[in-house]
């Protein structure tokens, strides 16, 4: 399906070096921030206390959050859970405070924040540091297994130059997403990890579409240089890219704007991943294929020389 078709191929490969230098600098900056600042992990990974309370009317979440912070709880998470009257509160692990008293102190803060509407406590849970450590290890293992699976798939699906280029581009996307979260110290939670895994698959899909068209163009069109083939493949898939990524980004933007605190960082990670997924597939993976020496001869088998008077099966006419 195409909304439009560009007749003249866009010379993307002419600016490949410039874009890859920008990409390399962005990648190095992301790694630098990951090493120096690190990720700001949520309660799921670090441990803490979780409370679910219910109000008779919809409370002001900002007021609740400020009151909890004023009472000595750093970086609390306050969000709606289910309905606008149900509130989920997470506070990080406090070293100098007894676990049993944390719930009582938070309830006291909530009563001060809304004295006319005292909330009722529905449940309280404590996530210990050991549980948080296990969640972190399991999440890291899930990310590693996805990467290994993608590497195996690409190695089987494509010629090795294409596989290596796609792998580098996809890992580039993941590191840059994590770099954004490290630089701005946005909270890295389980939903964000799920978004990173989704971006990996999404970016692979874009790379596969472009590389399939490259392979098809190499086989069908003679006389084109490798940069010309790459330019044609990318240009001919632009309409599909705009339709697919545009529709996806509309849904993600809706979550980002209207999803509230619960979906904010999840949608933010997806937005960064979608934008850099397009960028890496077109302006990172494709130039790498070109520089690794991809050519038509790798896809079109040369015709065997057949002596005159002999058929393909070796019989003499």
All domains of the chain, ordered by start, with CATH?
12-39+132-297 (1.20.1640.10), 48-127 (3.30.70.3400)
pTM of the model: 0.78
pLDDT at site 55:
92
pLDDT at site 301:
62
Look at residues 67, 5, 20 and name the one whose alpha carbon lies nearest to residue 287.
Answer: 20
Residues β-bridged to residue 88? 52, 79
99-107 CB contacts, 8 Å cutoff, 24+ apart: 99/49, 99/126, 102/49, 102/126, 103/49, 103/51, 105/71, 105/72, 105/73, 106/49, 106/51, 106/68, 106/73, 107/51, 107/53
pLDDT at site 309:
54
Q: In the numeric block, which tokens belong to residue 57?
A: 């009317």
* CA 82/CA 158 separation, integer angstroms: 45
CB atoms within 10 A of CB 268: 20
Look at residues 170, 168, 174, 172 and name the one whose alpha carbon lies nearest to residue 196.
Answer: 174
Look at residues 56, 301, 29 and name the one whose alpha carbon lies nearest to residue 182.
Answer: 29
Mean pLDDT by 10 residues, the chain (317 residues): 73 91 93 92 79 89 90 83 83 70 87 88 78 76 82 80 86 92 89 88 84 86 87 88 89 88 87 90 88 78 57 53
């Amino acid at each position: 399906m195409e909304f439009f078709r560009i007749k003249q191929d866009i010379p993307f490969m002419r600016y490949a070096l410039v874009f890859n230098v920008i990409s390399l600098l962005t990648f190095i900056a992301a790694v630098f921030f990951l090493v120096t600042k690190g990720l700001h992990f949520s309660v799921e990974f670090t441990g803490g206390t979780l409370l679910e309370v219910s109000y008779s009317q919809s409370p002001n979440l900002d007021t609740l959050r400020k009151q909890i912070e004023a009472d000595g709880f750093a970086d609390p998470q306050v969000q709606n859970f289910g309905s606008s009257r149900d509130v989920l509160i997470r506070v990080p692990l406090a070293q100098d405070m007894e676990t049993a008293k944390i719930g009582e102190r938070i309830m006291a803060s909530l009563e001060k924040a809304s004295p006319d509407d005292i909330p009722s406590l529905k449940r309280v849970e404590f996530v210990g540091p050991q549980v948080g450590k296990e969640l972190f290890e399991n999440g890291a293992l899930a990310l590693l297994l996805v990467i290994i699976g993608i590497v195996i798939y690409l190695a089987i699906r494509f010629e090795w130059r294409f596989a290596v280029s796609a792998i580098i581009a996809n890992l580039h996307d993941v590191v840059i997403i994590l770099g954004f979260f490290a630089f701005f110290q946005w909270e890295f939670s389980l939903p964000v990890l799920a978004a990173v895994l989704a971006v990996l698959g999404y970016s692979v899909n874009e790379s596969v579409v472009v590389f399939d068209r490259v392979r098809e163009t190499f086989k069908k069109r003679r006389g084109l240089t490798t940069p010309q083939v790459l330019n044609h493949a990318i240009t001919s898939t632009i309409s599909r890219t705009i339709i697919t990524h545009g529709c996806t980004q509309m849904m993600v933007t809706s979550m980002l704007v209207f999803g509230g605190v619960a979906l904010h960082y999840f949608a933010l990670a997806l937005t960064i991943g979608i934008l850099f997924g397009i960028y890496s597939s077109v302006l990172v993976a494709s130039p790498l294929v070109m520089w690794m020496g991809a050519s038509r001869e790798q896809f079109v088998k040369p015709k065997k020389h057949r002596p005159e008077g002999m058929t393909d099966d070796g019989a003499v006419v």
